[in-house]
Amino acid sequence: MTNSSHSDSRISGSIRKCGLDDAKLLHRLSVETYVDTFDGTSSDEDMQKYLEETYAEPILREELANPDSMFFVISMPSGAQTEAQRQGHRSGNAGADSADSACFVNPGDFADTAGADTGNLSNSTDSVNPTDSANSASPTSPVNALDSTETSAGYMKLNFGDAQVEDMGLDAMEVQRLYIRKAFKGCGLGTQLMNLALKTARERGLKKVWLGVWEHNEPAKRFYTGKGFVRVGQHAFWQGDDKQTDYLMAREV
């Protein structure tokens, strides 16, 4: 980034719905953000097993093809920085979002147009290396860039009807996954995605939105509580062969 004399202006992420061609991108985003969030919460073997059983590209393609599921990717201009990065500090893994800081960008640092070229992503489909994905977490890494002007910053998966992992009824929608990359936490991107989720539920005439969150993920629980979600139950979550507990949280639309 150049040391431009332009004044800083607050920016927001751009969101688009994913298609089958986004399986590679979602694979990399999913592995990177999951490892960043849950590394050390089980054995390496259990983590590896979970990643391979959940985020392999063929599995993601099946999910993308399911008419009762929707994926969205949120992107930021490549010149964007969190306030923490501007002051030389690494962003913390504090949950889906934070209201304490904002993203800014020098408008002259990037072009006005952007595409969605994922040609630089890994071709791996059958194995997942969490170490490689964690090491590629820099927002300027070519393996994570959408193109020269935008960088993928996070994603969300919504489930309807029978695609929900719990039978919450046909009038409910599940937010199964909502992850923001470490470098972009504190930019309000989690809030943007959650607002889209609630808007989607309202447009479909649904009455309830729900999700599962690990019982020990305090930042995420605070985030969802702040969005109006309350605990309504719990269920078992298997990270490999490690049985864990997720709290179920829900709110009316």
Tens-place pLDDT, residues 166-193: 999 999 999 999 999 999 999 999 999 9
Query: Could you give the C-alpha distances from 28 to 103, 140, 222, 251, in angstroms and in order?
Result: 23, 14, 26, 30
Please list, in sequence order, all residues whose beta carbon lies within 8 angstroms of the beta carbon of residue 101, skipping any fewer than 6 positions away: 82, 83, 84, 186, 187
Annotated catalytic sites, by residue? 224
Residue 32 pLDDT > 80: yes
What is the identity of the amino acid at 154? G
Domain 9-105+124-189 has CATH 3.40.630: yes
pLDDT in tens, 46-102: 999 999 999 999 999 999 999 999 999 999 987 665 543 554 433 333 355 543 344
CA dist., res. 13 & res. 152, Å (int): 9
Global pTM value:
0.76
Residue with tokens 């590629």: 136
Q: What is the mean pLDDT of the chain?
A: 78
What ranges in 119-217 are assigned the alpha helix state H?
130-135, 189-203
| For the chain, domain boundaries | 9-105+124-189
CA dist., res. 224 & res. 250, Å (int): 9
In the chain, DSSP finds a helix count (H) and a strand count (E) of 7, 10
